[in-house]
Amino acid sequence: MPFSDWLLVGTLLALGGSWNVIRADGGSERNCSAIPPYLPSTMVNTTLRLQALREAMSSVNVSAYIIPGTDAHLSEYIAPRDARMAFMTGFTGSAGTAVVTLNKAVLWTDSRYWVQAERQMDCNWELEKDVSISSIADWLIREVSDTDNIGFDPFLFSIRKAVHKDPSKLMLKSIPDNLVDRVWTDRPLIPPDNLIRLPDRVVGRTWQMKVEHIRTQMTDNPYKPTAVLLSALDETACKNATPHRSLLICSVPGLFNLRGSDVPYNPFFYSYTLLTLNEIWLFVHKDRVTEDLKLYLNSTCFPLAHCVQLLEYEQVRVMLKNYMATSGVKVWIGTEYTNYALYELITPEKLLTSAYSPVLTTKAVKDETEQRILRDAHVRDAVAVIQLLMWLEKVVPEGKETEMTAAHYVNECRSKQKDSRGPSFETISASGPNAALAHYSPSNATSRKLTVDEMYLVDSGGQYLDGTTDITRTVHWGIPTDMQKEAFTRVLMGNIEISRTIFPSGTKGVNMEMLGRRALWEVGLNYGHGTGHGVGNYFGVHECTIALLIVVSLPEPGYYKENDFGIRIEDVVVIVPAHTKYGHNYLTFETVSLVPYDRKLIDTSLMSPQQLQWLDNYYLTIRELMGAELDRQGLTEEKTWMLKHTVPFQSATASAAVSSLSLTLSALATTLLHILL
C-alpha cells in the first residue's frame, strides 16, 4: 500500500484530537546532552518496553511502528487502557503521535505540551516540534528504506480522506493485533461496571423507534445499503451534547439509550453496531450486560427485526468479514468515526459512505421532547454555576479559598443537581496568570489563592442523564483595570456577534472566526485558539449543539508577567431555524447556557445597540428560566443574586429613546417584565 492519504489525516487527528489540561506542576526538564544525561524524577524509563516493542516489530517484519494517542472510536478522551502512546513514551499529554523504528523513537506533539514532554520522557525519545503531517511523513521517508514496512494498528486511524498527495513509496502494513498491547503486561482492564439504561423520562425516542428511523433512511437511500455499521461511541452509547474541546458533535442520544463509563468524563462504553433491515448485532463486552438489559434489548423480539443479538466487542472484524462475504450486500458507514480496521474489510463496490452515519443525522433533528430535555440539563447546571459565583463573591475577600477549593465547590454543587453523573471534564479553575495558560487545571502544587486583585476564570461542565454541559465565565471581585474591562467586553462582543448571527445551512464553522475576533482585532488583540468547538465543520445540521469558545490571549508573552490574566467566555448554543425575510434554510443559534456574565467587566459604551439588545434578551431568558428553577429548588438567595446580575442594560437608554419615538406595546411589555422580575 502506498503512503496514502488517510494515514496522513489519521495522524493529524491524533495530533489535534483534544485539548487536554496543561499541568504546570513543578518539575524540571531532561537534559540529554549533559553527561551523564540529566533525567528528572518525573520521567519514565522506557528502555525495556521499547526493547520489547522492537522485538514484536521484528516478529511481524516492520521496521517502523506508528503509535497514535487515540482509541478505536476516535474518541476525544481515551481510557487508561488506550493510552498506548503514554505507556510507550512516558508523555501523558492528550495530543501526540509516536513513531518507533529499530533504532529511534520519536514523539510529535504541539507547543502546548513541549515542556511536559521534556519532563516526562527519558533520553530514548526525541521530541519533534513540527506537528505538520508532512513532518511525520518526511521523517519516515528519511528513516525508513523503500523496501521496509511501516506498521500501524488500523483500529487507531480514521479513514477520512485528505487531498494531500504524497509521492513516497513507503510500504504501510496494517496490523490489527496492536503491538503495544502485546508488550504492555499491566495494561488496565476494562472497567467492570455494568451498562445502564436511561430512565424513560429522559428518553425522547425508544431504541426501536430509532432503529426504524435508520432503516427508513436505508430503504430511502438510492444506493440501497443493506446494512449500517455504527462505530462512534456517541452513536451507540448515548451522548447528549458537547464533550469538551471537540469538533462539532451533534446532540446524540444513543441508539439504544444506554450508558457506560469506559471513557473518563463521558458516558460511553466500547461498542459497535451492525444493523440490517431485519437484524441487529451489538458488539459489546457481554459480561457487562445485565439480565435486565438483555430483556430490555429483546423485549420486542416479534417481529424478529427488533431482536438485539449480542456479540463480543472483539468479534466485530470477524462478523463484518463474514457479512461482506455474502453476495448483494452494501454497508453504509460514517467516515468521521469509522476506523480503518473496519473500512479495509469492505470492498469498494460494497461500500457506501457519508460523513456522519445516518444515526447522527437522525438524532441531530430533535423533536420537542428532546429539545426540552436538552434545555433542562442546562437549567439545572446553571444553578450550580450560579451557586459557585455567588459563594465566591462572598468568600474570596476573606482570603481562604483557592483554585482547588473553587473547583471542588462547583463539582459539589453539580453533584447535588438531579440526574448528575459527575463532571464532563476536569474543571479549569484559574486565577491571575494561571488563567493565561488557556487550559490549565489546578493541582496542589500550582493552586493559587483567590483574591480580589486578580481575575478568575472557571471552565467546567457536567454530565447529566439528560445532557452534557460546558460553560466558562470570567469574573473579577475587586476593581478591574480599564484594559481588563475592555478585553473582556471585546471578548463578549465576539461571543454575542456569533450567537446572534444568521447563516445559511451548510456554512462552515471557520466563518465564525471573524465574528468572534473582530472586536478584538480592532484594538490589536487576539486569541491563540479556535473559536468554538465546531470550527471546521458544517453548521448545516439543525439542532446540533456546539459550544462557543472565545479565548483572549495577548500576543506579547512578556505582558503576562506584569499584568496577568486570561479571559474566556463559553456558552453552549443549539442551532435553530431562523426566519428570514427572503431566504429559506437559514439558521441561527440559541444560547442554552444560562449564567450571567460579570457586569463589572462589561463596558457597554463599546457595544452596539444590537449587541446590547441581544444581551438584554438573553438576560430576560435567564430571568424567566432560572427564576422558575431557583424558586423550585427553594434557593432565594441565589435568585436574588441572579436578578441583581441580570438587570437589563438598556432600560435607561431605552426609556430615553422611547420617549422620543413612539412607545410600542411590546417595548412596554418588556420594560414591565424587567420591573416585575
Check if the beta carbon of residue 575 is closer than 8 Å to that of residue 546.
yes
Do strands 462-464 and 502-504 pair parallel, antiparallel, or not at all (unpaired)? unpaired
Strand partners, 229: 274, 333
Nearer to ligand NAG, 26 or 583 (CB): 26
C-alpha pair distances (Å), 383 with each of 266, 316, 353: 21, 43, 42
Answer for which of 25, 26, 28, 34 binds ligand NAG (CB under 6 A) is 34
Residue 278 engages ligand NAG in binding (rule: CB under 6 A): no
The span of 292-300, 341-349, 407-415, 460-468 binding ligand NAG (CB under 6 A) equals 292-300
Answer for which of 136, 159, 297, 352 binds ligand NAG (CB under 6 A) is 297
* Element at 669 (helix H, strand E): helix 665-676
Residue type, 640: T
CB of 40 to ligand NAG, least distance (A): 11
Nearer to ligand NAG, 171 or 407 (CB): 171
Nearer to ligand NAG, 91 or 503 (CB): 91
Nearer to ligand NAG, 195 or 198 (CB): 195
Residue 444 engages ligand NAG in binding (rule: CB under 6 A): yes
Site for ligand NAG in 486-515 (CB under 6 A): none
Answer for which of 58, 132, 216, 309 binds ligand NAG (CB under 6 A) is 309
Strand partners, 105: 100
The span of 30-38, 368-376, 531-539, 550-558 binding ligand NAG (CB under 6 A) equals 30-38
CB of 661 to ligand NAG, least distance (A): 59
Check if the beta carbon of residue 120 is closer than 8 Å to that of residue 44.
yes
Residue type, 533: H
DSSP summary character for residue 37? P
Answer for which of 277, 301, 318, 576 binds ligand NAG (CB under 6 A) is 301
CB atoms closer than 10 angstroms to residue 405: 16
* Element at 100 (helix H, strand E): strand 97-101
CB of 404 to ligand NAG, least distance (A): 7
The span of 33-41, 153-161, 241-249, 323-331 binding ligand NAG (CB under 6 A) equals 33-41
Residue type, 641: W
Do strands 308-312 and 280-284 pair parallel, antiparallel, or not at all (unpaired)? parallel
User: Binding mask 104-123 vs ligand NAG (x if CB under 6 A, - otherwise)?
Assistant: ------------------x-
Nearer to ligand NAG, 31 or 505 (CB): 31
With cell 516493542, the residue in question is 53
Q: Give the integer Cα–Cα distance in Å for 162 and 173.
A: 19
Residue 146 engages ligand NAG in binding (rule: CB under 6 A): no
CB of 49 to ligand NAG, least distance (A): 10
The span of 194-202, 294-302, 389-397, 612-620 binding ligand NAG (CB under 6 A) equals 294-302
Nearer to ligand NAG, 17 or 151 (CB): 151
The span of 29-37, 218-226, 373-381, 576-584 binding ligand NAG (CB under 6 A) equals 29-37
Nearer to ligand NAG, 218 or 297 (CB): 297
CB of 170 to ligand NAG, least distance (A): 11
Of 564, 590, 566, the closest CA to residue 577 belongs to 590
Of 401, 402, 422, the closest CA to residue 412 belongs to 422
Q: Give the count of residues interacting with ligand NAG (CB under 6 A).
A: 21
Site for ligand NAG in 155-184 (CB under 6 A): 171
CB of 308 to ligand NAG, least distance (A): 5
Nearer to ligand NAG, 34 or 523 (CB): 34
Long-range contacts of 524-527 (CB under 8 A, 24+ apart): 524/555, 525/487, 525/490, 525/552, 525/554, 525/555, 526/552, 526/553, 526/554, 526/555, 527/491, 527/551, 527/552, 527/553
Nearer to ligand NAG, 410 or 573 (CB): 410
With cell 460579570, the residue in question is 598
Check if the beta carbon of residue 434 is closer than 8 Å to that of residue 440.
yes
Phi, psi of 221 (to 5 degrees): -70, 130
Query: In the numeric block, which cell numbers belong to residue 469?
Result: 454541559
Answer for which of 52, 190, 305, 310 binds ligand NAG (CB under 6 A) is 310
Of 359, 377, 274, the closest CA to residue 629 belongs to 377
Phi, psi of 175 (to 5 degrees): -125, 95
Answer for which of 33, 111, 185, 662 binds ligand NAG (CB under 6 A) is 33
CB of 418 to ligand NAG, least distance (A): 28
Query: In the numeric block, which cell numbers belong to residue 202?
Result: 429522559
CA 671-674-675 angle, to 5 degrees, is 90
Q: Give the integer Cα–Cα distance in Å for 423 and 464.
A: 9
Answer for which of 103, 111, 147, 327 binds ligand NAG (CB under 6 A) is 147
CB of 280 to ligand NAG, least distance (A): 9
Using CB atoms within 10 A of its CB, is residue 507 exposed (0-12), middle (13-18) or buried (19+)?
middle
Q: Could you give the 3-state DSSP secondary structure of residue 158?
A: strand
Residue 103 engages ligand NAG in binding (rule: CB under 6 A): no
Answer for which of 294, 416, 418, 599 binds ligand NAG (CB under 6 A) is 294
Q: Give the integer Cα–Cα distance in Å for 316 and 320.
A: 6
Residue 302 engages ligand NAG in binding (rule: CB under 6 A): no
The span of 28-36, 154-162, 201-209, 333-341 binding ligand NAG (CB under 6 A) equals 28-36
Residue 1 engages ligand NAG in binding (rule: CB under 6 A): no
CB of 301 to ligand NAG, least distance (A): 6
CB of 449 to ligand NAG, least distance (A): 14
Residue 308 engages ligand NAG in binding (rule: CB under 6 A): yes
The span of 26-34, 106-114, 496-504, 636-644 binding ligand NAG (CB under 6 A) equals 26-34
Residue 359 engages ligand NAG in binding (rule: CB under 6 A): no
DSSP character string of 255-317: TT-EE--SBTTB-----EEEEESS-EEEEE-GGGS-HHHHHHHHTT-SSGGGPEEEEEGGGHH
Check if the beta carbon of residue 267 is closer than 8 Å to that of residue 377.
no
User: Binding mask 37-76 vs ligand NAG (x if CB under 6 A, - otherwise)?
Assistant: --x-----x-xx------------x---------------
Q: Give the integer Cα–Cα distance in Å for 234 and 495.
A: 27
Site for ligand NAG in 592-651 (CB under 6 A): none
- Positions touching ligand NAG (CB under 6 A) are 31, 33-34, 39, 45, 47-48, 61, 122, 147, 149, 171, 294, 297-298, 301, 307-310, 444
